[in-house]
Amino acid sequence: MTDIAQAVRRALEEDIGTGDVTSQACVHADRRATGLFIARQHLILAGTEVLPVMYDQLHLRKHDGDEVRHGETVAEVRGQARRLLECERTALNFLQRLSGVATMARAFVDQVKGTGCKVLDTRKTTPGLRLLEKHAAAAGGVTNHRKGLYDAILIKNNHIAAAGGITQALRNARAASQLPIEIEVRTRAELREALDFGATSLLLDNLTPAEAADWIHEIAGRATVEISGGVTLQNVRAYAETGAGFVSSGAITHSAPAVDLSFRLELL
């Protein structure tokens, strides 16, 4: 919660600066009001954890992960009218962005239903907002991949090149850490080398669904498989049907469009 509070406070400072001069000029300091956050489209809600940082009087009518229909109120806040007005845009920015991520995540999850394959998010997040965006992805039903470079080992092509090859990269990683190890393989030769060394988690990147299915047939259950690279809403089911345990897509966070939410203020 500390990271979230810091992100919200930075955003408020960026917008309010030395003061909301419009609200101060137009609205009496003693005026109190209520504010309603209203959905203007069908969406999956996320980002409500930012609201308690901004508002002392908050009533959530919907919660993260809830399906919200057009016209429904997701939250109600009360307080000084000036405070509600100065927080309006920042609150909407967070809710619209994060609900957009959750809505995109749910669309991916819906596409792979019945396949037994799980959808993963990635580290392709907005700098400074990773925790919030991963919370939003999870609210949409996606499984969170590693949070950062510190909580799991994912050996990719540049690591392999720097280490001196597949076997050496795996050997070094096993000697250095007890963390889970996943390794990217780009050719059949790399695939076989990784399996021969005993790799238990493989990343197949930038293959077609047909190619991935062929490689997974060769793997034959000796390692778990994640497919990444070019995974979209249009093709994610084809990848999920290859027999992979996981598919990952950066689009869930880096390309999710903001949803339409509005804020309506009413005087008390």
Closest residue by Cα to residue 137 from 253, 259, 261: 253
User: 47: which DSSP letter?
Assistant: -
Look at residue 110 and tell me whether its pLDDT is greater than 90.
Answer: yes
At residue 259, φ and ψ (nearest 5 deg) are -85, 170
Look at residue 2 and tell me whether its pLDDT is greater than 90.
Answer: no
pLDDT at 1: 59
Burial of 175 (0-12, 13-18, 19+ CB in 10 A): exposed
Averaged pLDDT score across all residues of the chain: 97
Closest residue by Cα to residue 43 from 62, 22, 24, 67: 67
What is the second-level CATH architecture of the domain 109-254?
A: Alpha-Beta Barrel (3.20)
Rounded alpha-carbon distances, angstroms, from residue 56 to 53, 79, 113 = 8, 8, 40
Q: Where do the domains of the chain lie?
A: 2-102+257-267, 109-254
pTM above 0.85, yes or no: yes
For 180-218, letters b (16+ CB in 10 Å) and e give ebbbbbbeeebbebbbeeebebbbbbebebeebbebbee
Could you check whether 2-102+257-267 and 109-254 share the same CATH topology? Answer: no
Kindly report the CATH number that applies to the domain delimited by 2-102+257-267. 3.90.1170.20
So which residues are the catalytic ones? 89, 124, 156, 184, 205
Other C-beta atoms within 10 Å of 239: how many?
Answer: 29
Residues in the chain: 268
| Percent of the residues in the chain that have a pLDDT greater than 90, as a whole number | 99
Closest residue by Cα to residue 46 from 121, 97, 110: 97
